[in-house]
């Protein structure tokens, strides 16, 4: 069955030279400047494209200059090559944006890593330090800079966590702990900057078709097939799906939402 969309054929809109898609773009992120930390693959890459499609000026950040510059060429905007765990480099980037009078309207913090599914007693402390340096410490540092940059005019920030931040998973103790931390960080940040009209929310994707997920499935019990069996909707998410949730939270359509945890997991956590 097909569904009609009367607004797409509305003669008034047609006479004005408008269509449904153009109106949607203007409503969502038209002319906003959006920073995406971790924009070269997976959910971050999908979010970059969506933000650009919805009319935003996008600034992508990541370690792969080749991948990042290719995205910027394809979708517009600009890319900054940066290791976000480098404190000085991150601070310098935000200072440079301020010197150029770049006013941020929104940000998505997506940079993260996972690890093989291994029992907690077999993990090495070095791995714990690496995961937390990227997944938690760098996000904390990004949040500090983003909030300072948005304070004059307000804005919106979305952190990308995981359903592993809402429950435990065998073998993923370090990753799960880091994503629990992201949720707690988001809720506290939302309270700290609400008076400045800055909203901070978190998206918790479930199993999503990314390079990180594919690697993780090689060591997860039951692999991808076992994971899919536990998802009520019966499939793995595409990166565009959690990215769309994040982009919506950035938009004015979510103007009264802050400190919220939005889960995109096909029903996995309620099964």
What pLDDT digit, counting tens, does each position of 106-139 carry? 999 999 999 988 999 999 999 999 999 999 999 9
Residue 9 has pLDDT above 60, yes or no: no
- Model confidence band, residue 36 (pLDDT cutoffs 50, 70, 90): very high
**Integer CA distances (angstroms), 102 to 94, 121, 123, 147, in order:** 9, 47, 42, 14
- % of the chain residues with pLDDT over 70: 86
- Residue whose entry in the numeric block shows the structure tokens 């607004």: 7
- List pLDDT tens digits, range 233-266: 999 999 999 999 999 999 999 999 999 999 999 9
Token readout for 223 is 């692999």
Cα gap 226→207, rounded to integer Å: 11
DSSP lists the bridge partners of residue 59 as 35, 78
At residue 81, φ and ψ (nearest 5 deg) are -80, 125
DSSP-H helix ranges across the chain? 11-15, 20-28, 42-53, 65-75, 87-99, 125-132, 138-150, 173-193, 211-217, 223-229, 240-250
Single out the catalytic residue among 20, 48, 169, 175. Answer: 175
Residue 12 has pLDDT above 90, yes or no: no
Closest alpha carbon to 85 in 160, 158, 20, 142: 142
Mean pLDDT of 176-188: 98
Give the fold, CATH level 3, of 28-270. Answer: Rossmann fold (3.40.50)
- Residue whose entry in the numeric block shows the structure tokens 């601070």: 91
Mean pLDDT score of the chain: 89
48 in catalytic set: no
Q: Is the dihedral of CA 85, 88, 89, 92 positive or negative?
A: positive
Residue 198's SS3 state is strand
Parse the chain into domains and list their residue ranges: 28-270
Q: Is the pTM of this model over 0.85?
A: yes
If you write DSSP's letter for every residue of 199-262 in order, what string do you get? EEEEEEE-SB-SHHHHHHHTTSTTHHHHHHHT-TT-SPBPTHHHHHHHHHHHSGGGTT--S-EE
Cα gap 147→196, rounded to integer Å: 9
Q: Is the dihedral of CA 65, 67, 216, 181 positive or negative?
A: positive
- Model confidence band, residue 27 (pLDDT cutoffs 50, 70, 90): low
């Amino acid at each position: 069955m097909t569904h009609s969309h009367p607004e797409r054929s509305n003669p008034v809109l047609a006479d004005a030279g408008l269509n449904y898609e153009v109106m949607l773009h203007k409503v969502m992120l038209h002319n906003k400047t959006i920073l995406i930390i971790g924009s070269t693959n997976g959910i971050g890459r999908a979010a970059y494209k969506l933000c650009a499609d919805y009319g935003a000026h996008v600034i992508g950040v990541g370690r792969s200059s080749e991948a990042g510059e290719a995205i910027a060429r394809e979708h517009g905007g600009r890319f900054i090559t940066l290791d976000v765990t480098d404190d000085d480099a991150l601070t310098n980037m935000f200072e440079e944006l301020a010197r150029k009078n770049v006013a941020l309207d929104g940000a998505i913090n997506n940079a993260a890593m996972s690890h093989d599914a291994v029992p907690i007693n077999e993990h090495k402390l070095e791995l714990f330090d690496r995961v937390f340096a990227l997944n938690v410490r760098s996000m904390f540092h990004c949040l500090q800079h983003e909030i300072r940059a948005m304070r004059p005019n307000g804005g919106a920030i979305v952190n990308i966590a995981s359903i592993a931040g809402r429950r435990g998973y065998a073998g993923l103790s370090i990753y799960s702990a880091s994503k629990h931390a992201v949720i707690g960080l988001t809720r506290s940040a939302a309270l700290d900057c609400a008076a400045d009209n800055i909203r901070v929310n978190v998206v918790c994707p479930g199993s999503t078709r990314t390079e990180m997920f594919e690697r993780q499935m090689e060591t997860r019990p039951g692999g991808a097939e076992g994971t899919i069996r536990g998802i009520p909707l019966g499939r793995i998410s595409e990166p565009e799906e959690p990215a769309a949730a994040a982009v919506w939270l950035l938009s004015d359509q979510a103007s009264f939402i802050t400190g919220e945890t939005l889960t995109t997991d096909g029903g996995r956590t309620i099964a």
